[in-house]
C-alpha cells in the first residue's frame, strides 16, 4: 500500500515522512515543489530507500497529480503543501492564494477524479487528510476559552485567510461529492528541520551568530506550541481512526507569550553553548516594530482528539524545546545550507527597518 504526501520536503512534511518510514514499510510518494521552504536534504537519510519516491512538482499541476495518483494508487493523500509564513503573506499574498487556495482546488479535483474511478472497497477506504492551522480561527482575547472545532472562522492574515479558504474547499468536497476527508487544525509547531524564518529557529540561529533577537511589539503575543513529532503522531492517529468529514484541533496544551519562548531559548543556549564572554544570550534581545494585524492570542482546546481518538502530546514544552535547541547545535551544516542567498535577502527585507 502507498500514501501520497504533498509538501514532504518542508518542516512538518519531512518530519512526517521520516517518522512514517521509520515506523512502517508502507510506501510514500512525496510531491513537493521545492520552494524556498522545501529542502531535499531533509530527506537525505531516505536515499536508496525503495519505499520513498520523491517527485519534484506542483500540487497545482493537475495533469502531474492525476498521473501520479493513477500510477501509484495511494490509499490516502496527506496534504501538507502550502505557503506557511505569515510575514511573507503580508509582503506577498499572491503566492498564498495561488498555492493554498488554487493549488488545493486543483489537488482536490485530481483526487476527486481518481477516487471516483476506484472500485468500491478502495473508494470506501480512501482518505484525504488536509493539514491546517489554528490561525483560521483568528485572535482570542486574554481570558477567552481556547478554540474548539466549532469556533467561527475569523482569519486575519493573508496566510490564515488562504488556509481558511482551503479548509472550506475541502469541507465542500466532502458535503457535495462525498469525498472522504479529514481536517486537522494545529497550533504552532517547533522542532528539528524548522526553517529559520519562524520564531524559534530564528532565535536559535541568530543567537549563535551573535545577531539581534527580534521580538515583535511587546512580545506578549500568545501562541500554543506543539513539538513537531507530536503533530505527526496526531496526523497518523486521525488518518487511522478519524471520523469522515470531521475536523480535529491539535495542540500542546502549552500557551506561552513570545518573550517567554525567547527567554527559554536563551537560557538553554546559555547552558548548552554559552557565549565566550559569559554574558547571557538574553542581552541580544531587541524589540522591533510589530507585525501589521498581529494576532494577540491563539489557544487550542485539543479535548476532542483526546476524547475520540485517545491522542495527546508525548512531549512537554520543557522536553521538546531542549531537544530542539540541541538538534540545532548538533546540525550546523543543515543551518548553514538553508541560509542561502534567498534566505539572506528575506532577512534583509523583513528586518530592514529595525
Catalytic residues: 134-135, 159
Least distance from C-beta 276 to ligand NAD, angstroms?
A: 32
Residue 4 falls in which region: left (phi positive, over 0), alpha (psi -120 to 50) or beta: beta
Closest CB to ligand TYD among 7 and 242? 7
Q: Which residues share a beta bridge with 27?
A: 2
Among 28, 37, 65, 207, binds ligand NAD (CB under 6 A): 37
Sheet holding 255-257, edge to edge: 188-190, 222-227, 255-257
Q: 12-31: which residues touch ligand NAD (CB under 6 A)?
A: 12-13, 31
Which residue in the set 131, 161, 265, 269 belongs to the binding site for ligand NAD (CB under 6 A)?
131
Residue 162 near which of ligand NAD, ligand TYD, none (CB within 5-8 Å, type-dependent): none
Site for ligand NAD in 38-67 (CB under 6 A): 38, 58-60
Residue 315 partner contact from ligand TYD, ligand NAD, none using kind-dependent CB cut-offs of 5 to 8 Å = none
Which of 11, 96, 114, 328 touches ligand NAD (CB under 6 A)?
11
Q: Is 293 left (phi over 0), alpha (psi -120 to 50) or beta?
A: left
CA-to-CA dists, residue 345 to 36, 83, 339, 350, angstroms:
12, 18, 10, 9
Nearer to ligand TYD, 12 or 21 (CB): 12
By a kind-dependent CB cut-off of 5 to 8 A, residue 202 interacts, out of ligand NAD, ligand TYD, none, with ligand TYD
Name the nearest CA neighbour of 196 among 89, 36, 77. Answer: 36
Q: Residue of minimal CB distance from ligand NAD?
A: 10
Per rule CB under 6 A, is residue 229 in the interface with ligand NAD? Answer: no
List the end-to-end C-alpha distance of the chain, in Å, as a whole number.
52
Site residues (vs ligand TYD, CB under 6 A): 86, 188, 198-199, 202, 214-216, 221, 223, 258, 291
Q: In a 3-state reduction of DSSP, which class is residue 88? A: helix
Chosen from ligand NAD, ligand TYD, none, partner binding at 299 (C-beta under 5 to 8 Å by type) = none
Grid cell in block for residue 193: 528541520
Greatest Cα-to-Cα distance within the chain, rounded to the nearest angstrom: 68
Q: Which of 96, 126, 195, 248 binds ligand NAD (CB under 6 A)?
A: 195
Element (H, E) at 127: strand 127-133
DSSP 325-340: HHHHHH-HHHHHHH--
Contact window for ligand NAD (CB under 6 A) among 188-196, 200-208, 293-301, 338-346:
188-196
Taking the complex as a whole, how short is the minimal distance between the CB of residue 4 and ligand TYD, in angstroms? 26
What whole-number distance in Å separates Cα of residue 51 and Cα of residue 311? 27
What minimum distance in Å lies between the beta carbon of 164 and ligand TYD?
Answer: 14
If binding is defined by CB under 6 A, does position 163 make contact with ligand NAD?
Answer: yes
How would you list the strands of the sheet with 76-79, edge to edge? 52-56, 27-32, 2-6, 76-79, 127-133, 181-186, 247-250
Footprint on this chain of ligand NAD (rule: CB under 6 A): 6-7, 9-13, 31-35, 37-38, 58-60, 80-84, 99, 103, 131, 133, 163, 186, 188-189, 195
Amino acid at each position: 500500500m502507498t500514501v501520497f504526501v504533498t509538501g514532504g520536503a518542508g518542516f512538518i512534511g519531512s518530519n512526517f515522512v521520516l517518522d512514517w518510514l521509520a515506523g512502517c514499510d508502507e510506501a510514500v510518494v512525496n510531491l513537493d515543489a521545492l520552494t524556498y521552504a522545501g529542502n531535499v536534504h531533509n530527506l537525505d537519510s531516505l536515499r536508496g530507500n525503495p519505499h520513498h519516491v520523491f517527485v519534484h512538482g506542483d500540487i497545482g499541476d493537475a495533469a502531474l497529480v492525476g498521473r501520479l495518483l493513477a500510477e501509484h494508487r495511494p490509499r490516502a493523500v496527506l496534504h501538507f503543501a502550502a505557503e506557511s509564513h505569515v510575514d511573507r503573506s503580508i509582503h506577498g499574498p499572491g503566492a498564498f492564494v495561488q498555492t493554498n487556495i488554487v493549488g488545493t482546488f486543483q489537488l482536490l479535483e485530481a483526487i476527486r477524479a481518481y477516487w471516483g474511478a476506484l472500485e468500491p472497497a478502495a473508494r470506501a477506504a480512501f482518505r484525504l487528510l488536509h493539514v491546517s492551522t489554528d490561525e483560521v480561527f483568528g485572535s482570542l482575547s486574554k481570558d477567552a476559552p481556547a478554540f474548539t472545532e466549532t469556533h467561527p472562522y475569523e482569519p486575519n492574515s493573508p496566510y490564515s485567510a488562504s488556509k481558511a479558504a482551503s479548509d472550506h474547499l475541502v469541507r465542500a468536497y466532502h458535503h457535495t461529492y462525498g469525498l472522504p476527508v479529514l481536517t486537522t487544525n494545529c497550533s504552532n509547531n517547533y522542532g528539528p528541520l524548522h526553517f529559520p524564518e519562524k520564531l524559534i529557529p530564528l532565535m536559535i540561529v541568530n543567537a549563535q551568530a551573535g545577531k539581534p533577537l527580534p521580538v515583535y511589539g511587546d512580545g506578549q503575543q500568545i501562541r500554543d506550541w506543539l513539538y513537531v513529532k507530536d503533530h505527526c503522531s496526531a496526523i497518523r492517529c486521525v488518518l487511522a481512526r478519524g471520523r469522515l468529514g470531521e475536523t480535529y484541533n491539535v495542540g500542546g496544551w502549552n500557551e506561552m507569550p513570545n518573550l517567554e519562548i525567547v527567554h527559554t531559548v536563551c537560557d538553554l543556549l546559555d547552558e548548552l553553548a554559552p557565549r565566550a564572554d559569559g554574558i547571557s544570550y538574553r542581552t541580544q534581545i531587541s524589540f522591533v516594530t510589530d507585525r501589521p494585524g498581529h494576532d494577540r492570542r491563539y489557544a487550542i482546546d485539543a479535548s476532542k482528539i483526546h476524547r475520540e481518538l485517545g491522542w495527546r502530546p508525548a512531549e512537554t514544552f520543557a522536553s521538546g524545546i531542549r531537544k530542539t535547541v540541541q538538534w540545532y547545535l548538533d546540525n550546523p551544516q543543515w543551518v548553514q545550507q538553508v541560509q542561502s542567498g534567498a534566505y539572506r535577502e528575506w532577512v534583509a527585507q523583513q528586518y530592514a527597518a529595525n
